[in-house]
Chain A
Amino acid sequence: METTRDWTIPGVTVGFAAVAVLGLLFLPDWLMNLTVIAFARALAVVGLMVLWRTGLVSFGHALYFGLGAYTVALLGKDDGISEVLITLPAATLVAATVGLFLGFIVRRYREIFFAMLSLAFSMVLYGILVKTEALGSTDGFNVRTPTFLGFAPEDAGTTLRAIFLVLCALCWTVAVLVHRYLQSTLGRLTTAIRDNEIRVEYLGYSVAQAIHGKYVMSAALAGLGGGILAIALGQVDPDSMVNWTVSGELVFVTILSGPGSVAAPFIGSMIYELIRTYAFEWLPHAWQLIVGVTLLSIIFFLPGGVWSLLARLRRREVE
């Protein structure tokens, strides 16, 4: 069988190893912090990318992002559990379970109805959190400093480095697993469903089940990302974790990244964080203007996202 060599897994392996090593050696704390936020968001974007390949856009994945974040925060409340080996899987599991139940509803809808239904569910959680004083209402509450296999970092810098390392390992694992998934029959049922649902059904596979599975996967990844962000920020509140603007950011980064590769969300998310940080520094009262112009530029000039630019450059090199 003729095959072109797939460099994705070697690429992400070298990439994350390099980020981890160089990050520990050279990154200042502010940039490491920014990388952690970017990669945590990227985990959610990987799931949205799988949905996007299927022709589905969710404007409500802040629901799962927030569920992951609040799960970690709640487990640690009142001297509770702070071990990441427990809190992060719990965040993933809670988000996946809610995704499993809501998936029975959303899998029947497409296009704008799918997007808006997702948004509606996330706003329900937002409303509940804002009105729940026991969870700090709009102010939220603090997250306990994490422990890593029993190791409790003594200062903020060590905690940040530990989170960074764990996150690099998690991102590599997710990238490899999702890439492997996309190479499987079920994975190829992303673009196939987007192209022609009728043919998929008449080949003998349930489109609803396939979409449901992808939705649960995306919910789980968003929960994991939210959980890590909660640990990294040390605080959860409805506006920064569950509000519709968070969902909007996730969709923004998905478009910026493009659906071309599992590596794209990590690059796209990093670019977004850098743009946002510098835009805020240069134009503190109008930074959204720069972000908006960036999105417009991507839509007009790079509809396949930044990954398509990299792919184009690589093709030119080969020629």
Chain B
Amino acid sequence: MSALLEARGLNKSFGAVTAARDIDISVAPHEIVGIIGANGAGKTTFVNMVTGWLKPTSGRILYEGHDIVGRTPRQITRLGICRSFQVAQIFGSASVFDNLLIALGIAEARGLAALRLLRRPDLADKADALLARYGIADYRDQSAGTLPQGVRKLLDIAMAMVAAPKVLLLDEPTSGISSDEKFELMDVVMGALKEDGVTVLFIEHDMEIVGRYVSRVVAFYQGEIICDAPPLVALADPKVKEFVIGEDLHNQTLLQGGVLQEAPDARG
């Protein structure tokens, strides 16, 4: 299958610090890719380059075969690559419903369409459908600034999905979420995203989440990709264990959590 999103020889330096070095990734349509790595490994830098927030020092990013380097975040969003954030980016003074209404309004806002009324029955129905789909209908009229962390994350992702993207990048969707809530949240999110057939790349520190939801793992270390493989292989990789997960944590979380029960080499 031809790649939907590709990074070729991507490099990014901040002065003397190299945040990304020769990144090569190819993502096929409908893949769910987990991006892992310690803090400062270059994961968010990669996402920021793909979504136009940062311009690579060199290299190419191809989306549907076209180079998107140099395009602004809004141009890339319009092309069909959307993202959520580690710290949910929502409109704090508006209600949850209005957050989605504004997002829906922007999605259709081209030229004079930006002057169409926002409170319309068709947009309201779409917003209500999104609220139901992401399990946040109970918070419909609550001010977004007062939401619990998990609901903020869901709202952030729902807003990113309003433009019906082909590729969605999630930056640590479960960070700040209690361990009781994280699977519930991810079940809702991944269920909705799979239904839409979206290609997903998500940054995650929680290896239980990675093991359960992704079809492929890309591990970063000091700006380089040290492993790109299916989860059972990647999470058992010696480099990943040493530089990303850590031996102790690896044994505790993955084996006890049952993620790698069927991968004998992971225990070795």
Selected from A184, A195, A203, the residue in CB contact (under 8 A) with B93 is A195
Chain B residue with minimal CB distance to A206?
B74
Binding site for A on B (CB under 8 A): 51, 72-74, 77-78, 82-83, 85, 89-94, 98, 101-103, 105-109, 113-121, 124-125, 159-160, 162-163
Q: List A contacts of B119 (CB < 8 A).
A: 1, 3, 183
> Min CB distance, B199 to chain A, in Å?
17
CA–CA, A196 to B82, complex, Å?
Answer: 16
| Closest Cβ neighbor of A198 among chain B residues | B89
**A137 on the interface (CB 8 Å rule)?**
no
Is there an interface contact between B118 and A203, defined as CB atoms closer than 8 Å? no
Q: How far is the CA of A202 from the CA of B124 in the complex (A)?
A: 21
A202-B73, A204-B74 known; A184 vs B91 contact (CB < 8 Å): no
Neighbouring A residues of B125 by C-beta, 8 Å: 1
Docked Cα-Cα span, A203 to B124, in Å, equals: 18
B117 touches A202 (CB 8 A): no
Taken together as a complex, chains A and B put the C-alpha atoms of A152 and B73 apart, in Å, by 56
Please, which residues of chain B bring their CB within 8 A of the CB of A200? Answer: 106
Inter-subunit contact B105/A185 (CB<8 Å): yes
Residue total for A at the interface (Cβ-Cβ under 8 A): 24
**Distance of A297 from chain B, by nearest CB (Å):** 25
B116 CB contacts on chain A under 8 angstroms:
184-185
With A183-B118, A183-B119, A185-B114 already in contact, the answer to whether A201 and B93 are too (CB < 8 A) is no
Closest 7 CB pairs of A and B: A185-B105, A1-B124, A204-B77, A199-B89, A195-B91, A203-B106, A186-B114
Contact A1 B121 (CB under 8 A): yes
Residues of A within 8 A of B78 (CB): 204
- 20 additional contacts, CB 8 Å, given A183-B117, A202-B82? A3-B119, A183-B118, A184-B114, A185-B102, A185-B105, A185-B116, A186-B114, A188-B105, A188-B118, A194-B93, A195-B90, A196-B90, A196-B92, A198-B89, A199-B91, A201-B77, A202-B77, A203-B74, A204-B78, A204-B109
Minimum CB–CB distance from A13 to chain B (whole Å) comes to: 19
Contact A191 B94 (CB under 8 A): yes
Whether A203 lies near B121 (C-beta < 8 A) is no
Taking CB atoms and an 8 Å cut-off, the chain A residues in 259-289 that contact chain B are: none
- State whether the Cβ of A205 lies closer than 8 Å to any Cβ in chain B: yes
Q: Would you give the shortest CB distance from A259 to chain B, in whole angstroms?
A: 11
Closest residue of chain A to B165 (Cβ to Cβ) is A204
24 contacts between A and B (CB under 8 A): A1-B121, A1-B124, A183-B117, A183-B119, A184-B115, A185-B105, A185-B106, A186-B109, A186-B115, A188-B101, A188-B105, A189-B106, A192-B102, A195-B93, A198-B89, A201-B72, A201-B77, A202-B160, A203-B106, A203-B107, A205-B106, A205-B114, A206-B72, A206-B74
Closest A residue to B117 by beta carbon equals A183
For residue B108, which residues in chain A have a CB less than 8 angstroms away from its CB? 185
Contact B159 A199 (CB under 8 A): yes
When chains A and B are docked, how far (Å) is the Cα of A184 from the Cα of B120? 10
B91: chain A residues at CB < 8 Å are 191-192, 195-196, 199
Q: Which residues of A contact B105 (CB under 8 A)?
A: 184-185, 188
Once A184-B115, A186-B114, A203-B163 are accepted as A-B contacts, the answer to whether A196 and B89 lie under 8 Å apart by CB is yes
Residues of chain B lying within 8 A (CB to CB) of residue A191: 91, 93-94
- Does A181 lie at the interface of the complex (its beta carbon under 8 Å from any beta carbon of B)? yes
Contact (Cβ within 8 A) B118 A185: yes
Q: For B120, what are the chain A residues with a Cβ–Cβ distance below 8 Å?
A: 1
The answer to whether A204 and B107 have CB atoms under 8 Å apart is yes
Q: How far is the CA of A203 from the CA of B98 in the complex (A)?
A: 14
- A201 CB contacts on chain B under 8 angstroms: 72-74, 77
In the complex, chain A residues whose CB is within 8 Å of the CB of B117:
183-184
**A313 to B123 Cα, complex, angstroms:** 32
Q: Chain A CB within 10 Å — which of B90, B91, B124 has the most?
A: B91
List the B side residues contacting A1 at CB < 8 Å: 119-121, 124-125
In the complex, residue of chain B having the shortest beta-carbon distance to the beta carbon of A207: B74
List of A residues within 8 angstroms of B83 by Cβ: 202
Instruction: Across the interface, name the chain B residue whose C-beta is closest to A1.
Output: B124
In the assembled complex, the Cα of A194 lies from the Cα of B102 at a distance in Å of 13
Interface string of A116-150 (1 = CB under 8 A from B): 00000000000000000000000000000000000
Contacting residue for A192 out of B94, B114, B124, B160, CB 8 A? B94
Contacts of A203 in B (CB 8 A): 74, 77, 102-103, 106-107, 159, 162-163
